[in-house]
């Protein structure tokens, strides 16, 4: 089984500043993927960034980047130059490469960007 | 290309009533999933399907049934709704071809059971 833990229920950041959301996971598998999803008030689940566990290099997508520490089973999300549109719930998720390929989600972090 | 759509968007049921939620995808995806989202929790897998005619149980399957008669559709049924099934339900699909298995989500169905 896979478990994903997000220990920060809520966070806030000033517009244009940088914020880091934490995520830890537990798995006995060696091959898996990690994701960050954004859920704005519309409830639509939007993929923000993804990371393959066998890749050492941290993924980046424009203002979003991750700090993947495989040995520590940590996968944090850094948002640079925060914008008002970044206000949302952020979910960390893991996925095995085999089997049903379903996602295991953390409980989420509610991020508020303050003007 | 509509992606993943869900019908209905919102529904109110009385305890004991039945209903079916419909998920449709137009991406020719093999894998389809039903998740539920409750306050303070992440999404949890109810049932999934790895191809037309196949279904399997996820983490929280009790009280639900599913069917995948057509590749593009995945139905979630509640035979006798209970207040504990008040939730937001998300459908998702993925290609199932290996490698990156990005899941594409529908907009969600909000269900209230009184």
**Residue A31, pLDDT score:** 83
Could you tell me how many CB contacts below 8 A there are between chain A and chain B? 54
- Structural tokens at position B86: 């008040």
Is the pLDDT at B7 greater than 80? The verdict is yes
**Residue A54, pLDDT score:** 87
Residue B8 neighbours by CB under 8 Å, 6+ apart: B21, B109
Q: Phi-psi region for residue A7, left (φ > 0), alpha (ψ -120 to 50) or beta?
A: alpha
Shortest CA gap A17–chain B (Å): 26
Option in A42, A91, A97 nearest B42 (CB): A91
**Residue B20, pLDDT score:** 97
Q: What is the pLDDT along chain A (115 residues), one digit of tens a residue?
A: 689 999 999 999 999 999 999 999 998 888 889 999 999 999 999 999 999 888 889 999 999 999 999 999 999 999 999 999 999 999 999 988 777 778 899 999 999 999 9
Contacts for B78-83 with beta carbons within 8 Å, 24 or more apart?
B78/B13, B78/B18, B78/B19, B78/B20, B78/B21, B79/B18, B80/B16, B80/B17, B80/B18, B81/B13, B81/B14, B81/B15, B81/B16, B81/B17, B81/B18, B81/B19, B81/B111, B81/B113, B82/B15, B82/B113, B83/B15, B83/B113, B83/B114
* B31-60 pLDDT tens trace: 999 999 998 888 999 999 999 999 999 999
* B59-104 pLDDT tens trace: 999 999 999 999 999 999 999 999 999 999 999 999 876 656 788 9
**Residue B39, pLDDT score:** 86
A46: closest chain B residue by CA = B105
**Residue A65, pLDDT score:** 97
In angstroms, the Cα distances linking B79 to A84, B49, B63, B65 are 42, 19, 7, 8
**Residue B13, pLDDT score:** 96
Option in A43, A103, A107 nearest B40 (CB): A107
CB contact under 8 Å between A100 and B58, yes or no, is yes
Residues B99, A50 contacting (CB under 8 angstroms): no
Chain A residues inside the 8 Å CB shell of B68: none
CA nearest to A91, candidates A19, A37, A47, A26? A37
CB contact under 8 Å between A42 and B90, yes or no, is no
Using only the alpha carbons of chain B, give its radius of gyration: 13
**Residue A112, pLDDT score:** 97
Residues B112, B14 contacting (CB under 8 angstroms): no
Q: How far apart are the first and last CA of chain A?
A: 41
To test the contact with chain B by mutation, choose from A45, A50, A91, A97 the residue with the greatest count of B C-beta atoms within 10 A, namely A45
CA nearest to B80, candidates B27, B15, B30? B15
CB contact under 8 Å between B48 and A102, yes or no, is yes
CA nearest to B110, candidates B82, B84, B91, B89? B89
């Amino acid at each position: 089984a896979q478990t994903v833990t997000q220990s920060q229920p809520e966070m806030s950041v000033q517009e244009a500043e940088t914020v880091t959301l934490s995520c830890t996971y537990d798995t006995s598998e060696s091959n898996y993927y990690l994701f960050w999803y954004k859920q704005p008030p519309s409830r639509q689940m939007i993929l923000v960034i993804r990371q393959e566990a066998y890749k050492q290099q941290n993924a980046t997508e424009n203002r979003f980047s991750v700090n993947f520490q495989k040995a520590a089973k940590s996968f944090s999300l850094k948002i640079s130059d925060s914008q008002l549109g970044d206000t949302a719930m952020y979910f960390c998720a893991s996925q095995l490469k085999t089997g049903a390929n379903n996602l295991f989600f953390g409980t989420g972090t509610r991020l508020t960007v303050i003007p | 290309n509509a992606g993943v759509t869900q019908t209905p968007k919102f529904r109110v049921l009385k305890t004991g009533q039945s209903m079916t939620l419909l998920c449709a995808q137009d991406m020719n995806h093999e894998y389809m999933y039903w998740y539920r989202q409750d306050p303070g929790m992440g999404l949890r897998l109810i049932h999934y399907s790895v191809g037309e005619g196949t279904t399997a149980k996820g983490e929280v399957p009790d009280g639900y049934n599913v069917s995948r008669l057509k590749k593009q559709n995945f139905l979630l049924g509640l035979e006798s709704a209970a207040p504990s099934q008040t939730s937001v339900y998300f459908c998702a699909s993925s290609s199932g071809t290996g490698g990156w298995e990005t899941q594409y989500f529908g907009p969600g169905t909000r269900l209230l059971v009184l």
